[in-house]
Amino acid sequence: NAGVTQTPKFRVLKTGQSMTLLCAQDMNHEYMYWYRQDPGMGLRLIHYSVGEGTTAKGEVPDGYNVSRLKKQNFLLGLESAAPSQTSVYFCASSSPIAGTKYFGPGTRLTVT
Amino acid sequence: KNEVEQSPQNLTAQEGEFITINCSYSVGISALHWLQQHPGGGIVSLFMLSSGKKKHGRLIATINIQEKHSSLHITASHPRDSAVYICAVRSDRGSTLGRLYFGRGTQLTVWP
């Protein structure tokens, strides 16, 4: 039981490049989330999903897209990376009943 | 104004001391989470509570719904408790139902 995993762990992009972050969970959780964490600020919700095939915008969705084609995976895409997207990205999952959130180890992204 | 305020921002203690971290919030909530983030970046859920008090080992979390306040206590603190402690509340209101609001975290350092 691996919990929540994220790939990659680190990435450096040039402005304008695109990439996809993958989050996978093996706990059969319905809910999945993508957050970003920046120095001096709390975690901020980018997008979330309450089930396979459904996604919704969070607090800071601009510049990001997501997909939840399979229940266990939640993908976060950056179509045209900008330096403002330099951050640490965390994925999390939870069940609607228990509510406890399980976080992935994070992806440190730098956009130059 | 942040919906969730934590105090103190930074806390230094000697091993063995009793530690209290406070969290105040301004939104209606269905649950409150305490999270721990270690220097390596991983985030772990410590508690989820909606009333009263929970205890796990040396950690105790309390919540007062009327006063919109929660505290996290660590008894007999240890250097391995050094981490950032994050308070997050789950909204119970309308369009933000289920959304988590995060505090900015309290950096705890425990010296041997």
CB contact under 8 A, A102 and B45: yes
Output A96 or B31, whichever has higher pLDDT: B31
The amino acid present at A102, given as its one-letter code, is: Y
Among A18-27, A76-85, A89-98, A101-110, which stretch is predicted with the lowest mean pLDDT?
Answer: A89-98
List of chain B residues whose C-beta atoms are within 8 Å of the C-beta of residue A58? 99
Mutate to test the interface with B, among A89, A101, A102 (most CBs of B within 10 A): A101
- Residue-level pLDDT at A99: 77
Q: Which residues of A touch B90 (CB under 8 A)?
A: 99
Q: Cβ separation of A43 and B88 shorter than 8 Å?
A: yes
Please return the burial class of A12, using the count of CB atoms within 10 Å of its CB with bins 0-12, 13-18 and 19+: exposed
| Contact with chain B for residue A101, Cβ under 8 A | yes
CA B23 to CA B63: how far, in whole Å? 9
Q: Is the peptide bond before B8 cis (omega within 30 degrees of 0)?
A: yes
Question: How confident is the model over A51-71, as a mean pLDDT?
Answer: 94
Going by pLDDT thresholds of 50, 70 and 90, the confidence category of residue A61 is: very high
Per-residue pLDDT band at B37 (split at 50, 70, 90) = very high
DSSP conformation class of A68: -
Q: Across the interface, do A99 and B2 touch by the CB < 8 Å criterion?
A: no
What is the mean predicted confidence (pLDDT) over A36-58?
Answer: 91
Nearest to B41 among A45, A88, A92 (CB): A88
Asked whether residue A2 carries a pLDDT value surpassing 80, the answer given is: no
Confidence of residue B1 (pLDDT cuts 50, 70, 90): low
Query: Could you say which DSSP state residue B61 is in?
Result: E
CA distances from A108 to A43, A80, A111 (A): 14, 17, 10
Pairing of strands A44-51, B29-37: unpaired
pLDDT at B91: 82
Cβ atoms of A52 and A70 within 8 Å: the answer is yes
